[in-house]
Structure 1
């Protein structure tokens, strides 16, 4: 059997030459993981549990040939963004053996290697996901994760398709009017910001979609919402009171 691993992220498909997954990393294992540890410290201070830090575990290391995607990873590292993605493990070229899904993932370290000769330059990235899901295994979450995937469907394994993938919205969430604080439960009225996290999109793409409530009523219909560099489309100044008056909300 011929095995392959492919990183799928932000519409890119990058062949992986080396894969390593470490779980339950101790605090002193790697001095380059200060960002992860600091995030845990901040959360623990808020909950009053400074002495007993939760596990920082789940670090993914990937190596691949430099082929034009280097800037994406450096932007990911330097800007401190969170990204979602998948690692597909494939055998016999088309059969997917496993899918490693991750959400709220930071890039915490990058290395580049080159040897004299015909070997191409290699890039190694270290990824710290807030949430991971392996097929047939329980979801693992860190205390600083942002996304809520418990109510999101996880697609079963399927053979790779050569067909062009269509843009999808994988999560919809709300923040306050300034777009700074996430809202878990919508108020009855006020101004909020709508965010839609997407896959298989490119920055600048325009999306149109409709959000339907459980009772079948339309909450909002969005036209030509522009996708940003993080794969998120947003609608600012969403007036909850206005939509309630128009009988499109509960």
Structure 2
């Protein structure tokens, strides 16, 4: 499971990313993981006036460039094989912005892109000690995992080190976005701030924000271990 990719906009391949499994000869590769050759695009961002104030756009924007709340998303190229599957060496520490957005918004498995709901609820994995379940709000930029791939992902993904935190959530509403704030500078339209924390939907800075990841808030949830999750999933099957 890969942390954030914050980059300049990239002219993405204008194809809808398919729902596919991405196990490769090198092991289980999450669908959302950035691949070698997938790069952020040259800058073609503009800021225009709108009735509500300044707003960030792509010069050649289309509706797929924005999330469900109308926030502009970072573009990234795709490398896919003839079966429309992500291909290339995994860049384990990075997520593909479009694939992360697609799986997070639709609550699909970050490994295979199939529906992620399990008999227990939605399962979210996090690296050891990366989320404090006592701190509110409890946020994650990691899309959920399905019953089939929760345990294999936990044991094979380098980011999880074989000992993930396992969150089983009954609700996980959309919260906001991570990314960079744009404005005018010496170079024209440029990054002026990169907030450490996600901006919640409704934040006044979102009109000139370029998002790289969608964030959800874990609502009703419990924390368990991977061995307990495996037993519970087998019992519920």
TM-score higher than 0.5 here?
A: no
Tell me which protein shows more strand as a share of its residues: 1
TM-score interval w.r.t. the shorter chain?
under 0.3
Which structure has more relative contact order (CA 8 Å, sep 6+)? It is 2
TM-score (norm 1): 0.26
TM-score (norm 2): 0.27
